[in-house]
């Protein structure tokens, strides 16, 4: 495992343009995670480690609660106590691989963005010695990896994320019920999808996950076009799944469209909030750090 000591910032690393240009998902994930960790005022690890592992020098951003005050008194040097993370959390990455995820008018497609995000989360989880599982789904479960902690498994997960495959359309969220059934052990489920499903079905599926005691973090990925319709003039919009075509003048419908999407997102958000589910929405032109931060916060609240 290569130690990443790159001086580059997270925003540089997690820039979508960069993600699009690098094929090695593992490398990207490490860049992202290391960069993400570097310079945080408050370490995302706080609270979820129990066994002391080693000392390291304090760097700005470390939580002062983990300072070794005794050592500081003896040697007049500031060290942070590092702990081994608990591994009793199963992280299930559920990534939508349906046709609608293949589009993206930004630097990367939604699927590429989702895969990178999933890989980064997996890398973070690995550092915390969490087991990582992966489920790719569309109209059915395409691939499923039960959560495990070894390196080979993690590489298999990354490989599955980066592998090319057909992306069938997924009209309903019923597949998520199947996914929920595949994960009977309680854990942290991170669902990465554009959520183009009926809200009722979707929330029903979330209930299914909650029924099995999963903590659910929903990371909704939309392309800038889908979110804000930033184009002008006449456009012929092609549905990535059904192939349906719709012609319109983009700038004329922008306001109405954005309003409709906002309403949809608010409904989703309200539904998730009612179920204790964290719902975050990103567009593919945004850096990954906000998503990772959300993951870390969610993870930290588990203990």
* CA dist., res. 158 & res. 120, Å (int): 10
Q: How far is the CB of 265 from another protein (least distance, A)?
A: 11
Q: Are the C-beta atoms of 12 and 35 separated by less than 8 Å?
A: yes
Please, which residue, 165 or 186, has the CB nearer to another protein? 165
- As measured in angstroms, the least distance from the Cβ of 244 to another protein is 6
Q: Minimal CA–CA distance to 242: which of 137, 134, 168?
A: 168
Spatial CB neighbours of 116, under 8 Å, sequence gap ≥ 6: 19, 25, 28, 29, 32, 108, 288
Min dist. Cβ of residue 99 to another protein (A): 8
- Reference 49, options 90, 89, 82; nearest CA is 82
Within 10 A of 246 (CB to CB), how many other CB atoms are there?
A: 9
Rg of the chain in Å (alpha carbons): 20
Q: Which is nearer to another protein, 181 or 198 (CB)?
A: 198
Give, in degrees to the nearest 5, the angle at Cα 134 between 133 and 139: 145
Least distance from C-beta 219 to another protein, angstroms?
A: 15
DSSP 38: T
Shortest Cβ 218–another protein spacing (Å)? 16
Q: Which is nearer to another protein, 33 or 94 (CB)?
A: 94
Closest to another protein by CB, 149 or 224: 224
CA–CA gap between residue 124 and residue 206 (Å, rounded): 24
148 alpha carbon, distance to own chain's centre: 18
Closest to 179 (Cα-Cα) out of 302, 279, 93:
93
53: its two tokens = 């592992």
Find the angle CA(245)-CA(198)-CA(166) to the nearest 5 degrees: 55
Minimum CB–partner distance for residue 83 and another protein (Å): 42
Contact positions vs another protein (CB under 8 A): 100-101, 103, 105, 110, 194, 196, 222-223, 225-226, 231, 233-242, 244, 246-249, 251-253, 256-257, 260-261, 264
Q: How far is the CB of 240 from another protein (least distance, A)?
A: 5
- CB closer to another protein, 47 vs 107: 107
Shorter beta-carbon distance to another protein: residue 49 or 116: 116
Nearer to another protein, 260 or 273 (CB): 260
220, 268 Cβ separation under 8 angstroms: yes
C-beta closer to another protein: residue 225 or 291? 225
CB of 234 to another protein, least distance (A): 4
């Amino acid at each position: 495992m290569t130690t990443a000591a790159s001086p580059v910032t997270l925003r540089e690393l997690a820039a979508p343009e960069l993600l699009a240009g690098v094929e090695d998902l593992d490398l990207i994930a490490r860049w992202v995670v290391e960069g993400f960790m570097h310079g945080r005022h408050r370490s995302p690890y706080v609270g979820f480690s129990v066994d002391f592992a080693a000392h390291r020098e304090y760097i700005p951003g470390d939580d002062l609660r983990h300072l070794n005050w005794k050592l500081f008194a003896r040697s007049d040097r500031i060290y942070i106590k590092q702990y081994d993370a608990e591994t009793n959390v199963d992280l299930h990455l559920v990534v939508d691989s349906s046709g609608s995820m293949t589009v993206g008018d930004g630097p990367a497609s939604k699927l590429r963005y989702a895969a990178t995000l999933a890989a980064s989360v997996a890398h973070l989880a690995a550092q915390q010695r969490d087991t990582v599982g992966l489920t790719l789904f569309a109209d059915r479960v395409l691939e499923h990896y039960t959560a495990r902690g070894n390196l080979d498994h993690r590489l298999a997960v990354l490989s599955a994320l980066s592998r090319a495959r057909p992306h069938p359309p997924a009209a309903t969220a019923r597949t998520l019920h199947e996914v929920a059934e595949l994960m009977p052990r309680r854990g942290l489920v991170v669902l990465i999808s554009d959520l183009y499903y009926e809200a009722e079905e979707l929330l029903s599926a979330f209930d299914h996950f909650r029924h099995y005691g999963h903590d659910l973090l929903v990371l909704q990925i939309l392309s800038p076009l889908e979110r804000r319709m930033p184009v002008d003039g006449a456009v012929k919009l092609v549905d990535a799944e059904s192939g349906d075509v719709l012609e319109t003048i983009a700038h004329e419908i922008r306001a109405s469209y954005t309003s409709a999407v906002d309403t949809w997102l608010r409904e989703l958000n309200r539904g998730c909030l009612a179920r204790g589910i964290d719902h975050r929405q990103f567009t593919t032109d945004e850096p990954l750090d906000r998503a990772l931060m959300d993951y870390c916060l969610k993870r930290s609240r588990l203990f």
